[in-house]
Amino acid sequence: MSRYGGSDAAAVLVNGYNLLSYVTSVSWKKAAVVTDITVLGDDWRRAGDSTLRESELALEGFYDDTVTSGINARALADYGLANVVTLMPDGNTLGLYFEGFRGPIEEAYERMIDLGELHKVGITYRGSQEVETGRIVKTLAAVTANGDTESSDLDGLASSASGGAGYIQMTAITLDTATNVVAKLRDSSDGITWADLGTFTARTAIGAERLAVAAAAATPDRYIAASWAWTGGAGAGSTATFMVGLHRAGTGQQ
């Protein structure tokens, strides 16, 4: 049994910006919308699953007005908009869980000022579309050349056939002589022969994306990896910092 503390949290990623250094608490909830199906003659109230799901996400932390990357700047830029949010609560290690939020809308931004306290902020997101638990395929780290994680792949123990979703969060990029960088999810039945599972949009700037993986036989396959390549070739100053993760649909936290 593993236990985790606040120091294990590796990232709070919103549209490519890591807000971890500002945040003091994160909470989220996924819930089934239950309806009352009690009828006359019942001795006990009964509830039924409406099959509708909902979610909530809230961040609280210290106010910071750093231009573009500060929590205040991000909150104001994303207010009222749908976002791609990825939480890495357990650490930045291959195979650990992440939570992927497909399109939560930033509903409210609150600034809190108290006597004898540093200024704080609260950000509330209204859940919109899926919240997906997956596993980290590529850790949040910088790359400077073409590469992949095939030699340190993620073993899903078995293939699945319900598709899934890939998440990428790119927190920094310098192109130098390159045109862009393209990241992919790849899968394999044996960890030796690999094929593309899905390709993320070519990136030239900080940002994030959720990539749908269509259901098919043995899709995704047992072993999962990420790859990346610089279009036009990486220059001496080309660098990109990003993470990649995969959610397998229909398999809980796989």
Q: What is the pLDDT of residue 250?
A: 83
Burial class (CB in 10 A: 0-12, 13-18, 19+), 240: buried
**For 72, phi and psi rounded to 5 degrees?**
-65, -45
Q: What is the pLDDT of residue 70?
A: 87
Cβ 229 vs Cβ 182: under 8 Å: yes
Cβ 73 vs Cβ 43: under 8 Å: no
CA angle, 226 as apex, 10 and 104 as ends, to 5°?
50
Pure H helices in 47-156: 71-78
201, two tokens: 């949009």
Taking each continuous run of H as one helix and of E as one strand, the counts in the chain are 1, 17
What is the mean pLDDT for each group of 10 consecutive residues in the chain (254 residues)?
A: 90 96 95 96 96 95 90 89 96 97 95 95 94 97 98 95 97 97 97 97 98 95 98 95 96 52
169 SS3 class: strand
Q: How far apart are CA 208 and CA 84, in angstroms?
A: 6
Q: What is the pLDDT of residue 253?
A: 47
148, two tokens: 């992949």
Average pLDDT, the chain: 95
